[in-house]
Amino acid sequence: MTLMLGVTLAGRDVLLVGGGPVAAKRLRRFLAEGARPRIVAPVLHAESARLVEHHGVAWEPREFCPTDLDGAWLVHTATGDPHVDRLVAEQCESQRVLCINASDGERGSARLTAQAEIGDVTVGVTSTVGADPRRSVAVRDAVVDLVADGRLPLRRRRTARSGRVDLVGGGPGPADLMTVRARRLIAEADVLVIDRLGPAAEITQGLDPDVMVIDVGKRPGRHPVPQDEINRIIVEHAAAGHRVVRLKGGDPFVFGRGGEEMLACLAAGVPVDVTPGISSAIAVPQSAGIPVTHRGTAAAFHVVNGQGGFGPGTLEAMADATVTTVVLMGVAALGRLVDSALAHGVPKDRPVAFVESGHTPQQRTTRTTLGRAVGDARAVGLRNPAVIVIGEVASEHLLLPTPVASGAARA
């Protein structure tokens, strides 16, 4: 029978008997736990010697003797000689010190588990009958996969002493374009603060009913929640001990005001982290088969907020036919943007593509040119959300060969 304990070794004296490769592996693990290891071994293998030297671990270069156990909370014996390991384990037993016996787990009083930390949970696996480390590792890895992408019920049932905020990138729409980390953080969240872009609708369907969902997005007939108020909401919930996920479309740091939310958390002393997302700036053109850079065609790309108009740097760059301009939030300002580009001498025949609702079933792509862009936008009824791509990469035939008229002879 085995009782798994979550033991805290930080600052505690751990004795390692033996200096071979197994000892080195364990030494590394104990050091990572913050333990204070000591080592007793006549000789050290290279890796143990390196760790001893590097971390200033106390080393007695001799055989084990029973007084070595004095002060130890835990002993690990891996001398390479099962007989010696057994003697060490027996000494531990008589002195009531827990002992991990590397050569024969059955003859030690403690065992290491195949362990992993994912977010704020720790998973440990061991066998109850006969050690089988490779199986334990395989089981652990399978559990880690489930935990890591949020398929296990990870939400805390008890409020933590301190909450936190995660600014999480949701990608351009479908939930399977989110990162595995994003899925896990959402599964752990007590409070989810969402807006209308990205995978919010799909994600909120599968949530625990007692997860609080706060929608701060724009909706028809409703004003969006002002940024100050969003900052206040995330900080307050985290300060109350909750795990807050601020889910954003695309990437939090690309026109997502993630920087402001981060500053608000830092100013309030709330722990905050950012999980990147797939930005529509790259992924929405991609969904229409448009690479933002393409060898020989486009060597750089500018990502612009259309509401602010084109700045002098962008207009300068647009004169260069090898630069792609990607405009977000540009639908309402399209006329003004096109006028300024044309006035700056960007050619009328520069290819333009409108990609609406990229990566969703409603996706629609319109190919046009700078000269025809405004008329074509009106003709198709261009609507948000849309990404406007200006540059040679927006040409319809960049990746798809020019269609050959039916019946035309091929060379």
Task: Give me the residues that bind ligand SAH (CB under 6 A), please.
Answer: 172-173, 197, 248-251, 254-256, 279-281, 284, 328-329, 355, 357-360, 384-387
Is 248 an annotated catalytic residue? Answer: no
Contact criterion met (CB below 8 Å) for 169 and 179: yes
Shortest Cβ 199–ligand SAH spacing (Å): 10
Report whether the peptide linkage leading into residue 224 is cis, meaning its omega lies within 30 degrees of zero. no
- The nearer residue to ligand SAH, 6 or 361, going by C-beta atoms, is 361
Is 195 an annotated catalytic residue? Answer: yes
Shortest Cβ 247–ligand SAH spacing (Å): 11
Instruction: Give the number of other CB atoms < 10 A from CB of residue 238.
Output: 25
Instruction: Give the number of other CB atoms < 10 A from CB of residue 288.
Output: 21
- DSSP helix, strand, coil percent of the chain (3-state; round to 5): 35, 20, 45
- In this structure, what DSSP letter does residue 392 have? G
Rounded CA-CA distance 280/192 in Å is 21
- The nearer residue to ligand SAH, 89 or 328, going by C-beta atoms, is 328
Q: Positive or negative, the Cα torsion across 278, 399, 336, 173?
A: negative
Shortest Cβ 177–ligand SAH spacing (Å): 10
Shortest Cβ 273–ligand SAH spacing (Å): 17
Give the phi and the psi of residue 279 in degrees, each rounded to 5. Answer: -85, 140
Pair of tokens at residue 395: 């040409």
Rounded CA-CA distance 178/35 in Å is 37
Rounded CA-CA distance 29/218 in Å is 49
- The nearer residue to ligand SAH, 24 or 331, going by C-beta atoms, is 331
- The nearer residue to ligand SAH, 190 or 261, going by C-beta atoms, is 261
Nearest-CB residue for ligand SAH: 250
Shortest Cβ 255–ligand SAH spacing (Å): 4
- The nearer residue to ligand SAH, 119 or 174, going by C-beta atoms, is 174
Residue tagged active-site, from 218, 228, 248, 339: 218
Alpha-helix runs per DSSP H in 288-355: 312-318, 334-343
Residue tagged active-site, from 85, 195, 248, 251: 195
Residues labelled as active-site residues: 195, 218
